[in-house]
Structure 1
Amino acid sequence: MTSTPKVTEGEAPFSWPAANKPLTTYYKITGDLSTSTRPPLIVLHGGPGISHIYLTPFADLAAAHGIPVILYDQIGNGRSTHLRERAGDGAFWTDALFVAQLDALIAALGVAEYDLAGHSWGGMLAARFAVRRPQGLRRLVIASSPADMHTWVKVQNELLKEMPEDVQESLRKHEAAGTTDTEEYKAAVEKFYARHLCRLNPLPDDVQAVEKVIEDDPTVYLTMFVHPLRWLRRISF
């Protein structure tokens, strides 16, 4: 009979001078780092601008294979420190910030060896982290992550052409005007996602929870994804 793994939640301190205030990283560990004979798996969530919630199935690895799993929320997201005052500040929200946060979390948890898995934007971040060849990193798993945003946008635009004309027009109009906070734009995005992101109806609870995370604080999502996407679409249409 499989025993229930230990679950530990906490907050790790993180310092980033440009933030002008103390920051904390929320983490959730399934398994016991102190007793496990296997290095933990650290999982990086997508977005940018969502949280770890939808990646909770990774925690099953602890019970099934004795692999401790570390989930955490990136700065500005979920239960880590939010910085709404930095909305639109592209110079602040950079991959360097999130790489430094991951470094700080690993140090705070005292992890000597580990594997890394990243999904979507998390995979892009994991790649940026791994190219430095950090001490302790053994394996890297990247899932559903683009290697080049221009190619990604080109493909997205091809998928967009499959949508009804009114959906295409709403997305183009609001992205060009910067009015991506309107209900019309949000409705068009939902229709696009219902066809090309997740076709389950109703949406799984974890996916709905992630949507609520963005609604609560879209700072990172808008600054790092939607606003740059407007520019990339203009040169790719």
Structure 2
Amino acid sequence: MSRQPRHVRKHRIASALIVAGTLVTGLLVSGGTSQAATQGPCDIYAAGGTPCVAAHSTTRALYGAYTGPLYQVRRASDSATRDIAPLAAGGVANASTQDSFCAGTTCLITVIYDQSGRNNRLTQAPPGGFQGPAAGGYDNLANATAAPITVGGHKAYGVYVAPGTGYRNNNTNGIATGDQPEGMYAIFDGTHYNGGCCFDYGNAERNSRDNGNGTMEAIYFGNIKVWGYGA
């Protein structure tokens, strides 16, 4: 995600999200329900020989056996933080933990954990290296309750990306670089988008600077047509 209101530079995203959109479930790959799942999306990718190298979701586990934290929230009242985990292995996020922790105050999503084991977690995007509003400071963090959703009959929260919101990781492990093959997969709220540049989830520079054309591969979700468009 990037910081410039309604118009975000696409090079600001490295394993990240941008401008107007809601990421419900997302993951980067290389090359349910609250009950324990036998297979998650990343199990399917691994079986196909293209294991996930960054797996991000605030709504659910992306591996059938995953029980670790999905994301972290920070409350405004005392700046305390709390990790939110699945209800069970491979299951939906335990939204009641967040609701209880954030009761009477507001919370922001501070970390989106990488479930792949490579520690490619997403945190607040640092200032960019070009002129304009995005160069002036850190991007905003998402409001933790702005994107409620029901998954398998259970409440969860997606990542609501308002203009200026951004997450990034400039020190990734195992992510494709150059012309190495990679694939990306994400689930978005199809009702939340705009024509600004850009709401992206994907892979970009290994720093926060604009390193020229051809240095980002990402999924764009919006209706701007400057770079061409598909069906």
**TM-score, normalization by structure 2:** 0.22
Whose radius of gyration is greater, 1 or 2? 1
Normalized per residue, the structure richer in helix is 1
* More contact order relative to length (CA 8 Å, sep ≥ 6): 2
More strand by share: 2
Return the TM-score normalized by structure 1: 0.22
